[in-house]
Amino acid sequence: AAIRRSSGDFVLSVDSDTTLASDVITKLAVKMRDPMVGAAMGQLTAYNRSDTWLTRLIDMEYWLACNEERAAQGRFGAVMCCCGPCAMYRRSCLLSLLDQYETQLFRGKPSDFGEDRHLTILMLKAGFRTEYVSGAVAATVVPDKMGPYLRQQLRWARSTFRDTMLARGLLRGLDRYLTLDVMGENLGPLLLGIAVVTALGDLLVSHTVNWWTVLAIVTMTIIRS
């Protein structure tokens, strides 16, 4: 409704449990001065970082996701997901994509998850750049118990795999680093799961630790980092 009725140039996406630093809008708007930039996201931190060991780990995860993954993608003008808690969009771009955005289907049913990643992919497919602004900091409330955290991660994983299919043709027009990054994001968890299950199976059958598997997991983790 805001996109259709607004008369402004930009639309800010922010979650109801997110607190923005006082200069967030200014810093995102500076990045949007380039007419080819369709969207820009800020840096996310955990508002409730000090609550539990889990929230502290999530805060660290957010730092890595923003200042390593998104920052690297931003160097090529193709942040693959401008996260919902803090992102600014060019309204004229949104209007041209709104019909596709509102009618997204997954396996024949209306999709109701991963809308930020989906919108970002549509923006890139339309030929616009997506950027990351590390100085625009937003603190968002994160899950403090394992149950809600795992449900959140399941939604995000489904969104990642689904929209990777949408982005297949897009990758050909982007830097090859983005192809490597997307492959790592999708194949990495799958290969890790297979390796862990294989190692546990080997341990149960032979009662010995397969150190080659452990070494492979550690090596791939270091390479990805």
Q: Spell out a b/e string for 109-148, using b for 16 or more CB atoms within 10 Å of the CB, else e.
A: eebeebebbbbbbbbbeeebbbbbbeebbbbbbbbeeeee
Q: What is the predicted pLDDT for the residue at 49?
A: 95
Q: What is the predicted pLDDT for the residue at 79?
A: 95
DSSP helix/strand/coil, 57: helix
Q: What is the predicted pLDDT for the residue at 88?
A: 96
The mean-pLDDT minimum among 14-18, 30-34, 141-145, 175-179 falls in 175-179
Q: What is the predicted pLDDT for the residue at 8?
A: 86
Q: What is the predicted pLDDT for the residue at 51?
A: 94
* Mean pLDDT of the region 212-224: 79
Q: What is the predicted pLDDT for the residue at 120?
A: 93
Q: What's the token pair of residue 2?
A: 């805001």
Residue 210 phi, psi dihedral angles, 5° rounding: -85, 95
DSSP helix/strand/coil, 90: strand
pLDDT, tens only, 70-105 = 999 999 999 999 999 999 999 999 999 988 888 877
Residue 26 has pLDDT above 90, yes or no: yes
Which fold is adopted by the domain 1-174? Spore Coat Polysaccharide Biosynthesis Protein SpsA; Chain A (3.90.550)
Q: Average pLDDT over the chain, rounded to whole?
A: 89
Query: What is the domain partition of the chain in residue ranges?
Result: 1-174, 179-224
Q: pTM value?
A: 0.83
Residue 189 has pLDDT above 80, yes or no: no
Residue 194 has pLDDT above 90, yes or no: no
pLDDT band at 29 (very low <50, low <70, confident <90, very high): very high
- Name which residue leads in pLDDT, 145 or 162: 145
Residue 180 has pLDDT above 80, yes or no: yes
Q: What is the predicted pLDDT for the residue at 224?
A: 65
Looking only at the bridges linking them, the beta strands covering 37-46 and 109-110 are unpaired
pLDDT band at 62 (very low <50, low <70, confident <90, very high): very high
